[in-house]
Amino acid sequence: MKKITFLAVVLALGATSMGSCKKDYTCKCQKIYTSTNGSTTVDDGLYTYDDTRKRAEDKCNDQESTGSDIQGSYSRECNIQ
Protein backbone atom coordinates (compact mmCIF):
# COMPACT_ATOMS: atom_id res chain seq x y z
CA MET A 1 0.00 0.00 0.00
CA LYS A 2 2.84 2.40 0.81
CA LYS A 3 4.36 1.79 -2.64
CA ILE A 4 1.08 2.67 -4.35
CA THR A 5 0.72 5.86 -2.30
CA PHE A 6 4.34 6.83 -3.01
CA LEU A 7 3.88 6.16 -6.72
CA ALA A 8 0.69 8.26 -6.80
CA VAL A 9 2.48 11.18 -5.11
CA VAL A 10 5.42 10.96 -7.54
CA LEU A 11 3.09 10.88 -10.55
CA ALA A 12 1.08 13.84 -9.22
CA LEU A 13 4.24 15.89 -8.70
CA GLY A 14 5.51 14.96 -12.15
CA ALA A 15 2.25 16.03 -13.80
CA THR A 16 2.28 19.32 -11.89
CA SER A 17 5.85 20.14 -12.85
CA MET A 18 5.24 19.37 -16.53
CA GLY A 19 2.22 21.68 -16.63
CA SER A 20 4.05 24.54 -14.99
CA CYS A 21 5.86 25.46 -18.21
CA LYS A 22 2.62 26.84 -19.61
CA LYS A 23 1.14 30.06 -18.34
CA ASP A 24 -0.75 33.07 -19.66
CA TYR A 25 1.28 35.48 -21.77
CA THR A 26 -0.15 38.76 -23.00
CA CYS A 27 0.70 39.98 -26.48
CA LYS A 28 0.24 43.72 -27.07
CA CYS A 29 0.02 45.00 -30.64
CA GLN A 30 0.38 48.57 -31.87
CA LYS A 31 0.05 50.19 -35.28
CA ILE A 32 2.72 52.75 -36.09
CA TYR A 33 1.71 55.26 -38.74
CA THR A 34 4.58 57.18 -40.34
CA SER A 35 4.20 60.40 -42.29
CA THR A 36 6.29 63.44 -43.16
CA ASN A 37 5.10 65.00 -39.87
CA GLY A 38 6.50 62.12 -37.79
CA SER A 39 4.95 58.96 -36.47
CA THR A 40 1.81 58.13 -34.51
CA THR A 41 1.37 54.98 -32.42
CA VAL A 42 -2.07 53.47 -31.81
CA ASP A 43 -2.85 50.47 -29.59
CA ASP A 44 -4.28 47.71 -31.74
CA GLY A 45 -5.15 44.71 -29.61
CA LEU A 46 -4.26 42.52 -26.68
CA TYR A 47 -4.08 38.75 -27.03
CA THR A 48 -3.63 36.18 -24.27
CA TYR A 49 -1.91 32.89 -24.99
CA ASP A 50 -1.87 30.00 -22.50
CA ASP A 51 1.30 28.35 -23.70
CA THR A 52 5.07 28.19 -23.23
CA ARG A 53 6.91 31.48 -23.60
CA LYS A 54 8.50 30.46 -26.91
CA ARG A 55 5.18 29.42 -28.47
CA ALA A 56 3.44 32.53 -27.13
CA GLU A 57 6.19 34.72 -28.65
CA ASP A 58 5.82 32.93 -31.99
CA LYS A 59 2.05 33.41 -31.97
CA CYS A 60 2.50 37.06 -31.00
CA ASN A 61 5.00 37.65 -33.81
CA ASP A 62 2.53 36.10 -36.26
CA GLN A 63 0.21 39.06 -35.51
CA GLU A 64 2.72 41.55 -36.98
CA SER A 65 2.04 43.02 -40.41
CA THR A 66 2.25 46.07 -42.63
CA GLY A 67 -0.50 47.64 -44.65
CA SER A 68 -2.74 50.63 -44.97
CA ASP A 69 -6.16 51.64 -43.79
CA ILE A 70 -8.24 54.81 -43.59
CA GLN A 71 -5.57 56.47 -41.43
CA GLY A 72 -2.70 55.68 -43.82
CA SER A 73 0.18 53.23 -44.12
CA TYR A 74 1.24 51.42 -40.99
CA SER A 75 3.56 48.87 -39.50
CA ARG A 76 1.95 46.63 -36.86
CA GLU A 77 4.34 45.52 -34.12
CA CYS A 78 3.50 43.03 -31.36
CA ASN A 79 5.40 42.12 -28.20
CA ILE A 80 4.90 39.87 -25.19
CA GLN A 81 4.32 42.01 -22.10
Q: Is 53 left (phi over 0), alpha (psi -120 to 50) or beta?
A: alpha
Residue 50 lies in a domain: yes
Asked whether residue 17 is assigned to any structural domain, the reply reads no
- Which range marks the domain in which residue 65 is found? 22-80
At 21, the pLDDT band (50, 70, 90 cuts) reads: confident
38: left (phi over 0), alpha (psi -120 to 50) or beta: left
Query: Is position 44 within any domain?
Result: yes
* Number of domains the chain is built from: 1
What is the pLDDT, as a whole number, of residue 9? Answer: 56
What tens digit of pLDDT does each residue of 25-67 get?
A: 999 999 999 988 899 999 999 999 999 999 999 999 999 999 9
Q: What is the pLDDT of residues 8-19, one digit of tens each?
A: 655 555 555 555
The 8-class DSSP code of residue 81 comes to: -
d(CA 30, CA 51): 22
In a domain, 30, yes or no: yes
Q: Which strand (E) or helix (H) includes residue 60?
A: helix 53-61
